[in-house]
Amino acid sequence: MLKQGDPDDIYEADMDGIVEDEDNEFEHFQDEEEFEGFDSDRVGLGSKVDDKEAPKITITKVPLHFRSNWDSFYLEMLMISGLFVYFINFFTGKAKNSKMASLWYSTHKSMLEDNFSLVGDDGKMEIEHRGLIKESEHLYTLWCSGRTCCEGMLVELKFIKRQDLVAVIAQMMRPVMDQIHIKVDMSKDDMDSFVFCVANKKTAAKLAKDMADLSLFCGERKSGEKLGLPSQFSVMSEIGEVSLAMLDSKITAILNRYTDLIDYIHFSDQFSGPKQQEESNLTKLPTTKKVLLFGFNIPTKGRSVQEAIEMMKPLMSLVFYCMEKVKRYRVSKEGKNKADKNRLKVEEAFLKTTHAARAEAAAARREQKRRQEKERILQEDDPEKQRK
């Protein structure tokens, strides 16, 4: 009969009987008698086969480095060079135009402040910035007001588009100049009825073709030599006596001295801007203003910017002189009658040419009114009113 021992003693005896061999843990898988069809050579040759059948490495043919073949990158180099030149031209041209504008303003500021109470109005209720207003990289404006005989004066500094590389190249083939355009809005009671212009011959032909007042009231262009001016100028005047009155000794002397700097001087009580296109259907005369217009060239070629700007000061003095002269001048009785007849003829011709358009517009208004009346009656609730 077996004797039952202590459970702890039995467990220890079992543990002592187990022998583990870590190295031969999977040895039974290699027993040839236990597995049928076991290939004893397969295990030993596995690593050798892998070594013999290693993948072949193919070296791809890499092209030469691009630095050794610059011929293939001409287009890219050309584009990069073009962009570099464009940006260099942009910043240098922009800086030069800005310098010219600032220099002009600082040179003429004291003169402008002596003639106007407000210099550099920006059009806002509270003036944030007095001085030139930059409209674009080549256009600066300055508005001045607060002076007798005029409502205000607008100065436009119109420079060459130096920041635009295309414009710079075009300017080499067709030279243009930096210009100052001045427009003085005269008060209604401080300018009589007349249209007058003296301009460079080429500019005069363009103005006579494009400007409505000159094309309507100044049909004839006379050479400036007949009035003591250089041959480069042409004179257009509605009334003959106005030319003699405007071209006094002082203005004539300035025109002779600064021939290359003065592009045009244009006085008009019928200024309405460029002529309207024939296709536009106007039913009433354009609104006109009494203005003095000046166009001056800035002589930057062959001179420093400072020297060129200094040469413009006498021309600004000419503007103020003309303002006072036009304010005091009055056309004779005969000249006044001629001016009134000319304006009446222009109005009659306009009414005649626009009669069909005005009749069509009136018919359209009547039709619209009749349609609205009919719609109003249809909305009425009373059947008796609808029958009527």
- Quick one: pLDDT band at residue 2, thresholds 50, 70, 90? very low
| 351 vs 8: CA distance, rounded Å | 133
Q: Assess if residue 115 is contained within a domain.
A: no
Average pLDDT value for residue range 184-202: 94
% of the chain residues with pLDDT over 90: 52
pLDDT of residue 232: 93
% of the chain residues with pLDDT over 70: 75
Q: Assess if residue 57 is contained within a domain.
A: no
Give me the residue label for tokens 């060459």: 160
Domain of 202 in residue numbering reads as 77-110+137-277+286-349
HEC readout, the chain: CCCCCCHHHHHHHHHHHCCCCHHHCCHHHHCCCCCCCCCHHHHHHHHHHHHHCCCCCCCCCCCCCHHHCHHHHHHHHHHHHHHHHHHHHHHHHHHHHHHHHHHHHHHHHHHHHHHCCEECCCCCCCCCCCCCEECCCCEEEEEEECECCEEEEEEEEECCCCCCHHHHHHHHHCCCCEEEEEEEEECHHHCCCCEEEEEEHHHHHHHHHHEHHHHHHCCCCEEHHHHCCCCCEEEEECCHHHHHHHCCHHHHHHHHHCCCCEEEEEEEEEECCECCCCCCCCCCCCCCEEEEEEEEEECCCCCCHHHHHHCCHHHHHHHHHHHHHHHHCCCCHHHHHHHHHHHHHHHHHHHHHCHHHHHHHHHHHHHHHHHHHHHHHHCCCCHHHHHC
pLDDT of residue 49: 47
Average pLDDT value for residue range 195-209: 94
CA nearest neighbour of 258 among 225, 297, 301: 297
What is the per-residue pLDDT across 328-364, written as a single tens digit (0 to 9) for each?
Answer: 999 999 999 999 999 999 888 877 777 666 667 777 7
Give me the residue label for tokens 């358009």: 357
Q: Assess if residue 96 is contained within a domain.
A: yes
Q: Assess if residue 53 is contained within a domain.
A: no
User: What mean pLDDT value characterizes the chain?
Assistant: 82
Judged against a pLDDT cut of 70, whether residue 40 lies above it is answered with no
- Quick one: pLDDT band at residue 276, thresholds 50, 70, 90? confident
pLDDT of residue 9: 55
Tokens of 114: 């002596």
Q: Assess if residue 376 is contained within a domain.
A: no
Q: Assess if residue 308 is contained within a domain.
A: yes
Judged against a pLDDT cut of 60, whether residue 207 lies above it is answered with yes
Residues 187/169, Cβ–Cβ less than 8 Å:
no
11-20, 104-113, 161-170: the lowest-pLDDT one: 11-20
Name the residue type at position 212.
Answer: A
Residues 120/139, Cβ–Cβ less than 8 Å:
no
- CA 188, 323, 126 angle in degrees (round to 5)? 75
Other C-beta atoms lying within 10 Å of the C-beta of residue 335? 19
- Quick one: pLDDT band at residue 7, thresholds 50, 70, 90? low
What is the per-residue pLDDT across 213-254, written as a single tens digit (0 to 9) for each?
Answer: 999 999 889 999 989 999 999 999 999 899 999 999 999 999
99-108, 211-220, 303-312, 366-375: the lowest-pLDDT one: 366-375
Judged against a pLDDT cut of 80, whether residue 123 lies above it is answered with no
pLDDT of residue 1: 43
37 compared with 113, residue with greater pLDDT: 113
Average pLDDT value for residue range 23-46: 54
pLDDT of residue 348: 86
pTM above 0.75, yes or no: no
pLDDT of residue 88: 94
Residue partners of 379: CB distance under 8 A and separation at least 6:
none
pLDDT of residue 45: 47
Q: Assess if residue 354 is contained within a domain.
A: no
Residue 185 phi, psi dihedral angles, 5° rounding: -90, 105
Q: Assess if residue 342 is contained within a domain.
A: yes
The domain total for the chain is 1
Beta bridge partners, 147, equal 150
What is the per-residue pLDDT across 62-86, written as a single tens digit (0 to 9) for each?
Answer: 555 545 566 677 888 889 998 999 9
What is the per-residue pLDDT across 144-189, written as a single tens digit (0 to 9) for each?
Answer: 998 988 999 999 999 999 999 898 898 888 889 999 999 999 999 9
Judged against a pLDDT cut of 60, whether residue 386 lies above it is answered with no
